[in-house]
């Protein structure tokens, strides 16, 4: 398929989708409290999507049964909302994509439930900042490897591992477009970024090592060693200098 360069009009549509993703994630995050079931977050997401006239990118994707992914503690990504009860001290990764006027937005945020310990808090802050390091590296003329290396270096220099088997991706009319965006790599390698490329950058950081396993539900991805994991994601449009973050309000 190749990497698709978007026109200004297409990016304007993606800005609308991104705004919806940001707004829904903010609302869902604000509802999280100890004692609630993760499926309640799916219900809130469905309600907000209806209000905003958008639909979930995830529901029905390869049979995924919910509007968003909810991954708790050692769950990295692709958790299915259900009867699991959130406890004081948990960390919860919310990953959500929406389609509006045929264009997609995709973002993720890891939030706390009640009072969490300092180690978990540091993991979340570092993962958030790792995403920002990746975004800061993404501009016209750099290589994809420059972005991947910026992410890897930021995370690993602070003592965390980056998940290798799951990556970011191009995004536009489709949720997953070329290129894949690994969270590790070598500077100066891979395709050159151009203004108008739209990318979902999404580092996943583990306290332990980067190996993963998939749960019996065939969706939920966990750390193989049971260590905590956090996930942040934004959809961006590459520019001459600073990239435009299309899903920025997620944790404003």
CB 58 to Mg ion: min, Å: 10
What span, in angstroms and rounded, lies between the C-alpha atoms of 230 and 162?
A: 10
Q: Is 4 helix (H, G, I), strand (E, B) or coil?
A: coil
DSSP β-ladder status, 204-206 and 103-112: unpaired
CB 92 to Mg ion: min, Å: 17
| Tally of CB atoms within 10 A around 66 | 22
Beta strands in the chain (DSSP E): 55-56, 69-72, 75-77, 91-100, 103-112, 161-162, 168-170, 177-181, 198-201, 204-206, 212-214, 221-223, 229-231, 234-237, 244-245
What span, in angstroms and rounded, lies between the C-alpha atoms of 89 and 120?
A: 9
Q: Please say which residue, 216 or 220, places its beta carbon nearer to Mg ion.
A: 220
User: Which chain residues interact with Mg ion by CB under 5 A?
Assistant: 106, 200
Q: Please say which residue, 75 or 106, places its beta carbon nearer to Mg ion.
A: 106
CB 167 to Mg ion: min, Å: 9
Q: Is 98 helix (H, G, I), strand (E, B) or coil?
A: strand
Q: Please say which residue, 129 or 180, places its beta carbon nearer to Mg ion.
A: 180
CB 73 to Mg ion: min, Å: 20
> First-to-last CA distance in the chain?
34
CB 105 to Mg ion: min, Å: 10
Tokens for 26? 């903010």
CB 57 to Mg ion: min, Å: 9
CB 233 to Mg ion: min, Å: 5
Q: Please say which residue, 133 or 231, places its beta carbon nearer to Mg ion.
A: 231
SS3 assignment for 149-189: HHHHHHHHCCCCEECCCCCEEECCCCCCEEEEECCCCCCCC
What span, in angstroms and rounded, lies between the C-alpha atoms of 83 and 205?
A: 26
Q: Please say which residue, 197 or 200, places its beta carbon nearer to Mg ion.
A: 200
Burial class (CB in 10 A: 0-12, 13-18, 19+), 230: buried
Q: Please say which residue, 166 or 224, places its beta carbon nearer to Mg ion.
A: 166
Q: Please say which residue, 154 or 231, places its beta carbon nearer to Mg ion.
A: 231
**What residues pair up with 201 in beta bridges, in sequence order?**
234
């Amino acid at each position: 398929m190749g990497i698709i360069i978007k026109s200004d009009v297409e990016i304007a549509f993606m800005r609308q989708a991104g705004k919806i993703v940001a707004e829904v994630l903010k609302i869902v995050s604000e509802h999280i409290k100890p004692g609630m079931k993760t499926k309640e977050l799916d219900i809130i997401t469905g309600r907000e999507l209806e209000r905003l006239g958008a639909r979930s990118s995830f529901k029905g994707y390869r049979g995924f049964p919910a509007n968003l992914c909810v991954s708790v503690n050692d769950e990295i990504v692709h958790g299915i909302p259900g009867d699991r009860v959130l406890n004081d001290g948990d960390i919860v990764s919310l990953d959500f994509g929406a389609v509006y006027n045929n264009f997609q937005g995709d973002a993720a945020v890891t939030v706390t439930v009640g009072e969490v310990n300092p180690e978990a808090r540091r993991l979340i802050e570092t993962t958030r900042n790792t995403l920002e390091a990746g975004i800061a590296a993404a501009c016209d003329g750099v290589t994809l490897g420059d972005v991947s290396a910026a992410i890897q270096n930021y995370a690993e220099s602070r003592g965390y591992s980056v998940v290798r088997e799951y990556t970011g991706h191009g995004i536009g009319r489709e949720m997953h477009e070329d290129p894949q965006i690994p969270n590790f790599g070598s500077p100066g390698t891979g395709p050159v970024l151009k203004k108008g490329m739209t990318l979902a950058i999404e580092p996943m950081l583990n306290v332990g090592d980067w190996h993963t396993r998939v749960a019996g539900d065939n969706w939920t991805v966990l750390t193989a060693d049971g260590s905590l994991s956090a996930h942040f994601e934004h959809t961006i449009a590459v520019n001459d200098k600073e990239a435009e973050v299309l899903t920025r309000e997620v944790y404003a």
